[in-house]
C-alpha cells in the first residue's frame, strides 16, 4: 500500500519538529486529507500545512492518536529495512547493558518503533503488536526479529487491552516453535520460573529489575512484606539479602503457588508466608492483628489507566501506602511504586507523604528509581517514562 499524504493544520507540526511522534485527530487538516478515507494501519507521509515534509508514519482514523511517525528520512519508510535497523540498534544497546539475554528488547517509541514491544527470554521472544500499523507489518516484524536475534521461539502476546483501542482482536499465538510451558530466567543471583504465554504482560516485569536489585544496598531485614507480589521478584530478592521472614500477598492463588516454587528453586522456601486476597483487605487484617515489618514493598498494578481516573486512583495509592506505613516498624524501609503514567513523580511522592502524615510518620527519601535502561525514555514523549519507585525510611520515634 502506497503512503498517502496526511496534512496537518497550521502550526500543528511543532510537536513533531520537537521530536514527538504522535499525531492526534484534531491536529489533521481533514478538509485536504480526510481521515475517514484512510485504512487502519495505512502508511502515510506526514506534511505540515504549507507542504513541508515531516516524515513517514502510519495512520488509524479510528484512534485518538490517528498517526504515528516512524521515520524522518525520506529514503527509509516503515518496512523490512527500517525494522531490521531499529531492532539491530536495540539489540546492541541491550547487549552492552546486560550480561545475560533477559530484558525488554524493544520498547515502542523509546526504540523508534511505536506499536512494538518485545521481551527477550534467551532464545524465546514474546512480542506485542499494539497498533494497527504494526499489526499490518506483522510478517516483516517477525522476519526482522528472526534475522537479527535468531530465536528458537516467538510468541505473539496480543492479549493486551490496548489493542481494543486500535480495533484489533486479542489473542496469543505461537509463530515460531511451540509453547515450552515454564521457562527459567535469571535476575541477579536468583532464578525464576515464568510462563511467557500465560503470565501477566509477557510473563515478567523487566522494568523493575534494577530497583529490585537495589534492595541489597539497604541490608538484611528481619520481617519483610511483599504486596502484589506476582511471582515474588521483590520478596525473594529481600530473602536473598538475608530477610529472616518474608510474607507475600497477592489476589492470585496461582501466583502464590509459583512464588513458593521460585523460592524452592533458590533454596529460600523455609522463610516464607503466603496470604491470598485483596491487598487492601489483607493489609487491614494484618494491621488489626498487630503485625509489624521492617521492610514493606508495595508494587500494585496501575490504579490510574485514564486521566479521568486520576483523582480516584491517587486516593487508592494514598490508602495503600497508609496501610503499608501502619505496618512498618520505626526506622523501617518502605519501597513503593506506581506504574501509572497519569500520576507524575511529584504527585506520587505527595500522595505517599500525605499517607505518612495521616499515620504520624516522618519519612526520608533515600533513593528514587525508574524503569530500567531496557525501557529507554524518549526525551520528547513523557508517556514513555511511567515507572516511579521510592525507597523511603520511616524515621525512628524521638
pLDDT per residue over 189-236, tens digit each?
999 999 999 878 888 999 999 999 999 999 999 999 999 999 999 999
Domain presence at residue 106? yes
Q: How far is the C-alpha of 324 from the C-alpha of 15, rounded, in Å?
A: 41
Instruction: Tell me, yes or no, whether 276 and 380 share the same domain.
Output: yes
Q: What is residue 398's predicted lDDT score, i.e. its pLDDT? A: 61
Residue 260 domain-assigned (yes or no):
yes
CATH number of the domain encompassing residue 151: 3.30.750.80
Query: In this structure, is residue 182 part of a structural domain?
Result: no
Domain total of the chain: 3
| Same-domain check for residues 299 and 161 | no
Q: Is residue 319 part of a domain?
A: yes
Residues 149 and 166 in one domain: yes
pLDDT of residue 151: 98
Q: Are residues 271 and 387 in the same domain?
A: yes
Q: Are residues 221 and 86 in the same domain?
A: no
**Same domain, residue pair 258 and 211:** yes
Of all helices (H) and strands (E), which one includes residue 193?
A: strand 190-194
Residue 350 reports pLDDT greater than 70: yes
Range of the domain at 116: 80-176
Residue 213 covered by a domain: yes
What's the confidence (pLDDT) of residue 247?
Answer: 98
In a domain, 107, yes or no: yes
Instruction: Report yes or no on 193 lying in a domain.
Output: no
The predicted-structure confidence for 250-292, as pLDDT tens digits, reads as follows 999 999 999 999 999 999 988 899 999 999 999 999 999 999 9
> What percent of the chain clears pLDDT 90, i.e. is strictly above it?
92
Domain boundary among 47, 71, 95: 71
The residue assigned the cell 509453547 is: 179
Q: How many residues does the chain have?
A: 398
Mark residue 230 as left, alpha or beta (left: phi above 0; alpha: psi -120 to 50; beta: remaining): left
Cα(144)–Cα(84) distance, integer angstroms: 5
In order, the DSSP letters of 221-262 are: -SEEEEES-TTTHHHHHHHHTT-SEEEEEES-HHHHHHHHHH
Q: Are 386 and 109 in contact (CB under 8 A)?
A: no
Same domain, 120 and 63: no
Cβ-contact 332, 262 below 8 angstroms:
no
Over the chain, what is the mean pLDDT? Answer: 95
Does 42 share its domain with 98? Answer: no
* Same domain? 234 vs 360: yes
Q: Are residues 315 and 371 in the same domain?
A: yes
Identify the domain boundary among 130, 157, 176.
Answer: 176
Question: For the packed helices 310-326 and 345-358, what is the interaxial angle rounded to 10 degrees?
Answer: 50
Q: DSSP 3-state assignment of 75? A: coil
Nearest in space to 142 (alpha carbons), one of 232, 95, 80:
80
Phi, psi torsion values for 298, nearest 5 degrees: -120, 115
The pLDDT assigned to 77 comes to 94
Which CATH number fits the domain that encloses residue 41?
A: 2.30.130.10
242 and 263 belong to one structural domain: yes
CA distances to 10, 253, 260 from 25, rounded to whole Å, are 14, 43, 49
Rounded to two decimals, the pTM is 0.94
Between CA 344 and CA 349 the distance in angstroms is 9
Q: In CATH, what number is assigned to the domain containing residue 280? A: 3.40.50.150
Q: Which residues are catalytic?
A: 339
Give yes or no for residue 104 having a pLDDT over 80: yes
pLDDT for 319 equals 97
Amino acid at each position: 500500500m502506497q503512503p498517502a499524504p496526511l496534512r496537518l493544520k497550521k502550526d500543528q507540526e511543532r510537536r513533531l519538529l520537537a521530536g514527538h511522534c504522535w499525531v492526534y485527530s484534531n491536529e489533521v487538516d481533514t478538509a485536504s486529507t480526510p481521515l475517514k478515507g484512510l485504512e487502519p494501519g495505512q502508511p502515510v507521509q506526514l506534511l505540515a500545512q504549507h507542504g513541508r515534509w515531516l516524515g513517514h508514519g502510519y495512520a488509524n482514523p479510528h484512534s485518538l492518536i490517528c498517526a504515528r511517525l516512524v521515520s524522518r528520512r525520506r529514503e527509509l519508510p516503515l518496512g523490512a529495512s527500517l525494522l531490521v535497523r531499529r531492532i539491530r540498534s536495540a539489540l546492541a544497546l541491550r547487549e552492552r547493558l546486560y550480561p545475560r539475554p533477559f530484558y525488554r528488547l524493544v520498547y515502542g517509541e523509546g526504540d523508534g518503533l511505536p506499536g512494538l514491544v518485545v521481551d527477550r527470554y534467551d532464545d524465546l521472544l514474546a512480542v506485542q503488536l499494539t497498533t494497527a500499523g504494526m499489526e499490518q507489518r506483522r510478517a516483516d516484524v517477525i522476519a526482522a526479529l528472526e534475522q537479527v536475534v535468531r530465536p528458537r521461539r516467538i510468541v505473539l502476546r496480543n492479549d493486551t487491552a490496548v489493542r481494543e483501542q486500535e480495533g484489533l482482536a486479542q489473542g496469543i499465538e505461537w509463530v515460531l516453535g511451540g509453547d515450552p510451558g515454564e521457562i527459567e530466567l535469571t535476575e541477579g543471583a536468583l532464578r525464576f520460573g515464568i510462563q511467557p504465554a500465560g503470565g501477566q504482560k509477557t510473563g515478567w516485569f523487566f522494568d523493575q529489575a534494577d530497583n529490585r536489585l537495589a534492595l541489597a544496598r539497604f541490608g538484611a531485614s528481619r520481617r519483610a512484606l511483599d504486596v502484589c507480589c506476582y511471582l515474588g521478584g521483590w520478596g525473594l530478592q529481600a530473602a536473598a539479602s538475608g530477610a529472616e521472614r518474608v510474607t507475600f500477598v497477592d489476589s492470585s492463588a496461582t501466583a502464590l503457588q509459583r512464588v513458593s516454587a521460585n523460592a524452592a528453586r533458590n533454596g529460600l522456601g523455609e522463610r516464607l508466608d503466603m496470604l491470598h486476597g485483596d491487598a487492601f483487605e489483607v493489609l487491614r487484617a494484618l494491621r488489626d492483628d498487630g503485625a509489624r515489618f521492617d521492610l514493606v514493598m508495595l508494587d500494585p498494578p496501575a490504579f490510574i489507566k485514564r486521566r479521568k481516573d486520576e483523582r480516584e486512583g491517587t486516593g487508592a495509592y494514598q490508602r495503600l501506602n497508609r496501610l503499608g506505613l501502619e505496618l512498618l516498624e520505626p526506622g523501617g524501609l518502605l519501597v513503593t511504586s506506581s506504574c501509572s503514567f497519569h500520576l507524575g513523580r511529584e504527585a506520587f511522592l505527595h500522595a505517599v507523604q500525605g499517607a505518612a502524615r495521616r499515620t504520624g510518620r516522618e519519612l526520608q527519601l533515600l533513593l528514587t528509581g525508574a524503569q530500567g535502561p531496557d525501557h529507554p525514555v524518549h526525551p520528547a514523549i513523557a508517556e514513555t517514562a511511567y515507572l516511579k519507585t521510592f525507597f523511603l525510611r520511616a524515621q525512628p520515634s524521638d
